[in-house]
């Protein structure tokens, strides 16, 4: 069974690029263009990892990260925050305080991102996280 990745980003080029690259690497990838759409998808399935943009048309990615953590089904799913803007350490710290496991900067180095996400998925699987849905 392929691992599942949810990508939440308002930029269609980023969504398409990540989906194509990770799908070729054996991942099942679903995409959302808003945080609200991402939360709806996350409520219906379990993902090994969520890649979440910091700036979305309907709010801050950190706000959606907080809401994900309130759902018991999603509370332990690793969230990678990403941003194309130069941000201060405040955004990074806020994201990590909310439970994000990493913070990546666009443009994405896809090979390195795949390695980091694969490593996190292995750690999650080793910790006994059960997959359903």
User: Can you identify the CATH homologous superfamily of domain 3-124?
Assistant: Response regulator (3.40.50.2300)
Q: Residue 44: is its pLDDT beyond 70?
A: yes
pTM of the complete model: 0.90
For the chain, give the longest Cα–Cα distance: 39
Mean pLDDT to the nearest integer, 4-13: 97
What is the per-residue pLDDT across 60-103, written as a single tens digit (0 to 9) for each? 888 999 999 898 888 889 999 998 875 667 777 888 888 889 99
Strands (E), the chain: 3-8, 27-32, 49-53, 55-56, 59-60, 79-83, 102-105
Q: Where are the domains of the chain?
A: 3-124
């Amino acid at each position: 069974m392929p691992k599942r990745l949810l990508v939440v980003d308002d930029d269609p080029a980023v969504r398409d690029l990540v989906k194509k690259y990770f799908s070729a690497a054996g991942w099942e990838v679903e995409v959302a263009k808003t945080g609200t759409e991402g939360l709806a998808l996350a409520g219906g399935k379990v993902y090994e990892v969520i890649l979440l943009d910091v700036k979305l048309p309907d709010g801050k990615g950190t706000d959606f990260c907080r809401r994900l953590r309130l759902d018991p089904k999603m509370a332990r799913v690793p969230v990678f925050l990403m941003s194309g803007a130069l941000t201060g350490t405040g955004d990074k710290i806020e994201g990590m305080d909310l439970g994000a496991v990493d913070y990546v900067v666009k443009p994405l180095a896809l090979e390195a991102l795949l390695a980091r996400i694969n490593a996190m998925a292995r750690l999650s699987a080793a910790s006994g996280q059960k997959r359903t849905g």
